[in-house]
Amino acid sequence: MFHDDQHGTAIVTVAGLENALKIVGKGYGDLRVVVAGVGAAGVAVSKMLLNAGVKNLIGVDRHGAVHTGREDLNSSKRWFAENTNPELLAGTITEVIAGADVFLGLAGPDLLTVEDVQSMASDPIVFAMANPDPEIRPELIKDIAAVIATGRSDFPNQINNVLAFPGIFRGALDAKATKITENMKLAAARAIADVVGEDLHQQFIVPTAFDPRVAPAVAEAVRLAAIEDGACR
């Protein structure tokens, strides 16, 4: 099932992360990623990242890290536990974020402290996307994090799900696709990232919502991915 908001957020998050990784010179397979919030958006982002090649991803909900030893998981979180957190880490965000390369916040305000970010790996990437109040204020970590993104338009690097639309649906329609696959979503993310091109820098990892190049680029990438996946009528 494709839910517009959550999957749109996931696509644009991965687009931003694609470009953030170019800045810090890291690859998906080398990352340790902590995702705060294991609801629909958090699960959608995590599935895309696993598909992209992330091997070490830890999700954290209000009860701490999600792992297979917990008895309080619903079916969605049980799937999540079985497919993430290979080291079976337990505990709070503060306990699991030490040494992490990437923090993705899809939860609520003020979950992260300056000390948490200081404990991350070198050149940490922090996407604090809770709206209107992020998991940590960008100005508190501007001298610590290599790349920062939020869900807000008054800071650089807004992760705005509107960037995914209408391109992903245009591409699916053009291909006469019967479903939207993980590969199609990843193709959309990479198309959004590519629009930034040579203008890439720490304060500009995703295009603006008004960039006219985005929708056509996404549509064409999604169309080709649908054909590659055999997802067409």
Asked if residues 102 and 123 have their Cβ atoms less than 8 Å apart, the reply is no
Give the C-alpha separation, 116 to 106, whole Å. Answer: 17
Query: pLDDT at position 3, please?
Result: 54
Query: pLDDT at position 179, please?
Result: 94
Q: Which residues have a Cβ under 8 Å from the Cβ of 199 and sit 6 or more positions away?
A: none
Query: pLDDT at position 176, please?
Result: 96
Query: pLDDT at position 49, please?
Result: 97
Q: Which of 18, 19, 13, 33 is closest to 120 using CA atoms?
A: 33
Per-residue pLDDT of the chain (233 residues; tens, 9 = 90+): 455 789 999 999 999 999 999 999 999 999 999 999 999 999 999 999 999 999 999 999 999 999 999 999 999 999 999 999 999 999 999 999 999 999 999 999 999 999 999 999 999 999 999 999 999 999 999 999 999 999 999 999 999 999 999 999 999 999 999 999 999 999 999 999 999 999 999 999 999 999 999 999 999 999 999 999 999 98
- The CA angle 134-138-139, to the nearest 5 degrees, is 135
Query: pLDDT at position 1, please?
Result: 47
**Which tokens in the block code for residue 98?**
């030490």
Query: pLDDT at position 5, please?
Result: 83
Q: Which of 4, 30, 23, 57 is closest to 157 using CA atoms?
A: 23
**Cis peptide leading into 212, omega within 30 of 0?**
no
SS3 15: helix
Give the C-alpha separation, 175 to 214, whole Å. Answer: 18
Query: pLDDT at position 214, please?
Result: 98
Neighbours of 150 (CB within 10 A): 25
The CATH class of 25-150 is: alpha beta
| % helix, strand, coil for the chain, step of 5 | 45, 15, 40
